[in-house]
Amino acid sequence: MRAIILAAGSAALELVGTGWVVGRLEAQELPELTVVANRVETPLGNVGSTFSSLEVELLERRGIVTLEDALRHVPGTGIGSEGGQRGSISALRIRGSEADQTLLLIDGMRVTDANVTPFNLLGGETLLGYSQVNVLRGPQSSLYGSEAIGGVVTLDTRVGSGEGRQRVFGEAGSFGSLRGGAELQGEWSGIRWYAGGSHETTTNDRSFNDFEQNQLALRVETDLSVDTVVGLTARSWMSDFQNPGSTAPF
């Protein structure tokens, strides 16, 4: 490939020297694509359903670090938590649908189905390790099944690139609120990787509503060919929330 590039450069110089004008190829910007709406690559401008895509990096710059708060910025959605306490169960309703009629996908894997609801996950999940939050509003049963009557929410784990980067963060607040973690990402010999983890604890403002959680995220991938990518994604999310009168070990 290097020899071909050098030869093309020499030919161009010779033509210019004899008075010929050589056309220059200009880079073309490709449209942003999504596979959520139609299960195939589709330009955002050609998506028939109402679709919103939120960049996690931009959300974090605005101080939004939880999935619950991120979804509140999507038009046509309503989300509420039990008593407004951090870590309590939350319900998401899209365009007036029931809370169990929204499908949640993380890296393409179904987190919810007809028998499992995302109430606990929505109440405590942060945006750690995610790159995008996508929301497809309106009935999608023909593509995703009966649990997607209200819509579909997808979360994508970050992919590392370039030189290795690290980030360590920590924060503290009232009611014994503490949150901290670390993230590592980069690319080496064609292998892209990301790893992150965090710990959070708070007593909340109401008695006997203690909350504690630990999160881990890992993604590794590489290109086998121009059209083939192989990778591994792993996530761990463990949380405890105490309700008044419960016997939770806090």
Q: pLDDT grade, residue 169 (50/70/90)?
A: very high
Q: Which residue has the tokens 């579909």?
A: 152
Residue 220 CA, chain-centre distance (Å), reads: 15
pLDDT for the residue 146: 78
HEC letters along the chain:
CHHHHHHHHHHHHHHHHCCCCCCCCCCCCCCCEECCCCCCCEEHHHCCCEEEEEEHHHHHHCCCCEHHHHHCCCCCEEEEECCCCCCCCEEEEECCCCHHHEEEEECCEECCCCCCCCHHHHHHCECCCEEEEEEEECCCHHHHCHHHCCEEEEEEECCCCCCCEEEEEEEEECCCEEEEEEEEEEEECCEEEEEEEEEEEECCCCCCCCEEEEEEEEEEEEECCCCCEEEEEEEEEEEEECCCCCCCCC
Please check the confidence at residue 5 and state whether its pLDDT lies above 50: no
Report pLDDT digits (tens) over 93-113: 888 888 888 889 998 888 877
Output phi, psi for 119, to 5 deg.
Answer: -55, -50
C-alpha distances in Å from residue 135, one per residue of 39, 51, 56, 202, 208: 14, 6, 13, 29, 34
Please check the confidence at residue 15 and state whether its pLDDT lies above 60: no
Picking from 28-42, 63-77, 161-175, 176-190, which range would have the lowest pLDDT averaged per residue?
Answer: 28-42
pLDDT for the residue 234: 92
Please check the confidence at residue 126 and state whether its pLDDT lies above 80: yes
Report pLDDT digits (tens) over 31-55: 677 777 666 677 766 666 788 889 9
C-alpha distances in Å from residue 21, one per residue of 12, 13, 24: 9, 10, 9
Distance CA 155, CA 131 (A): 8
Please check the confidence at residue 65 and state whether its pLDDT lies above 70: yes
Please check the confidence at residue 119 and state whether its pLDDT lies above 80: no
Q: Which residue has the tokens 């901290």?
A: 180
Distance CA 233, CA 217 (A): 8
Average pLDDT over residues 177-186: 94
Distance CA 91, CA 153 (A): 13
pLDDT for the residue 101: 84
